[in-house]
Structure 1
């Protein structure tokens, strides 16, 4: 995500206009990129546009997942891992720490998402560098 997108609601008012965040798939790299679409005169228009782009994204991501036979994006897998594989089998103090790290530090710093099978060391290194400012 762009740094100016981190922490924003999906639809938000800024610089005298309504805006929303969209996710688009780069069809050459299968990378999911985040962008702000702006210029809406009211919240309802921004929400309608958001739902239009979100529906398109959902169709595109399902198509890409079928083509590549990859079930998750990196961020989807982190969420799946946390909720289905880690939380049911960990103690309560560890749950808090890992949940905080994933949902408050890592996921908000993701500038772009990729299919799980396309995660590279560069992708992870870049993400760690983004998170580094929060805590060493």
Structure 2
């Protein structure tokens, strides 16, 4: 089926630069504006664009709930885990100075890990919410009308 070939081709061309920009924002966040939250949103936008053009079934095949649900928690656990590691190394919670021999390197490593956790969580939560709304809408439109007992008509 060649429906919407211009949209499909445009999406295939736009997704790599969108995701590359997301990586830039993720890894440049400790030097300037950006970071995990913004990068997670950018990655989610790329995925939502994919879902809007190629359909929710294909999107769910790319990001099934058995992937997105654990990633929601994994990002939070990474964030919290960095804090626990800093405490185990003798510092305060999320005091990144103790993560490396040089405090500057420790700050860089800690921020990188925490922002990665935030980015993972934001992406997974936004994708999960989007797909939940899409799937809920599909269930409601295909369910029979309880009052009439008739199946809906397309």
Q: What TM-score results when the alignment is normalised by the length of structure 2?
A: 0.26
Larger strand share, 1 or 2: 1
Q: Which of 1 and 2 has greater Rg?
A: 2
Taking structure 1 as the reference length, what is the TM-score of the superposition?
Answer: 0.29
